[in-house]
Amino acid sequence: MSSSQLFKDAQQVLVGGVNSPVRAFKSVGGTPVFIKSGNGAYVTTEDGHQLIDYIGAFGPHILGHSHPTILSALRDAMDLGLSFGAPTEAETILAHKVQKAFPSIEQIRFVNSGTEACMGALRLARGFTKRDIVLKFSGCYHGHSDSLLVAAGSGNLTFGQLDSAGVPHSFVEHTAVLEFNDSEAVRQFFSEFGDHTAAVIVEPVVGNMGVVLPELGFLHTLRQVCTQYGAVLIFDEVMTGFRVSSGGAQQLYSITPDLTCLGKIIGGGLPCGAFGGRKDIMAFLSPNGPVYQAGTLSGNPLVMAAGIAMLGLLSDPAIYSRLEQRSHALEVGINQASLATKVPVSVNRVGSMISMFFTDTPVTNLASAQTSNTQRFAKFHSYLLDSHVMIPPSQFEAWFVSHAHSDEDITRTVDAIHHFCETVSS
């Protein structure tokens, strides 16, 4: 069956025909492509097209699809059983591997998703500090738990402005929102609310409004005020962990958070998340402390096996050198296409995360990201698909380069981008 036929059938039984909203192509139009298989840097659609993939399941396939070492580890684990609801040695082995890469994580708790990791970290921070207020930043996404579905308002500071139906206002009244990269607003916020603030949660490199980099001093300001007022600094490294460097954004920017949320890569492409950090904070988590968290499938042996294999492979520094080379080439190619055709583009990249915004405004926060021409992006997305290149179906999602992408893949992608820009400028 074709993707269009499959989507028509899916809409009869799945809400919107999908199990996660961005997959429905609402912001780019057209019919979602249904994937049949993936191998290396490519996915093959049910229509029989092979596409160069820059989604990579939104980040975890840093080595490409169906890496043989990870598949072998999964086969071995399956022979032993699928799930036990009891401890296995693999959980400890993977924890040690994570800890080696992230020294700030003195103890860790594995969960099943990034959403669950962030939810657990915030509950723990509130239990540890015995405070209620949490500060987040507009455009940063930390999963779909109720207390984090808060929108930024028109003012400098917003408390409890709902971003989804079905969430009682009381669930978000203690969640504050500021603009990303506004250090002065952070200092003002803490001067007023610091003694009542449990935590600051942030994507140190944002991936959920497209890639947005922290400006000089911003992350240092967060560390400073959290230390001064006794709040817990939480880095949501679900995307950036093991992606922007082997030790995540905290290694890249030399900032030590109190708690870190991980996901995506640490499960080798299977559903996984984790949160961990300072031992004195983690001691408040059950069964040792009063903050409750549990999960029947947490530490699932298949996920742990895939994660152990993945992190073992990522211990080779040459992988990150190759990722940087390929990602840099893509960034340069996009900028050259923009200059040659005079089509305004703003490119943000950190490591193998990259975004291309159709705007001449530097993108430093959500407001500047929203200056991008989304109608042009929709046409761009369709053009790339026709050119057998797959990027996320939203202007406000990161692209992910994998170790499996070749020089030829990057060249083909840049050529397609250049040709699109030529159609715009002609």
> Which one of 42, 54, 141, 320 is the catalytic residue?
141
Q: Which helix (H) or strand (E) element contains residue 233?
A: strand 232-236
> Which one of 53, 136, 182, 264 is the catalytic residue?
264
258 is catalytic: no
97 is catalytic: no
Cα-Cα-Cα-Cα dihedral sign, residues 270, 272, 23, 61: negative
Q: Which helix (H) or strand (E) element contains residue 142?
A: none
> Which one of 53, 182, 236, 409 is the catalytic residue?
236
Q: CA of 202: how far to CAs of 19, 99, 269, 297, in Å? A: 26, 20, 23, 27
How far is Cα 227 from Cα 224, in angstroms, rounded to an integer?
5
Taking the C-alpha atoms of 33, 34, 37 and 42 in order, what is their torsion angle to the nearest 10 degrees? 10
Q: What angle do CA 16, 21, 22 make, to 5 degrees?
A: 125
Pairing of strands 133-138, 175-179: parallel
Q: How many contiguous H segments (helices) and E segments (strands) does the chain have?
A: 13, 15
The helix/strand/coil state of 275 is: strand
Q: CA of 290: how far to CAs of 259, 268, 273, 296, 369, in Å? A: 17, 32, 21, 19, 41
- Percent helix, strand, coil in the chain, to 5, is 40, 20, 40
Return the number of other C-beta atoms located less than 10 Å from residue 297's C-beta. Answer: 15
76 is catalytic: no
Q: Annotated active-site positions, please?
A: 141, 236, 264
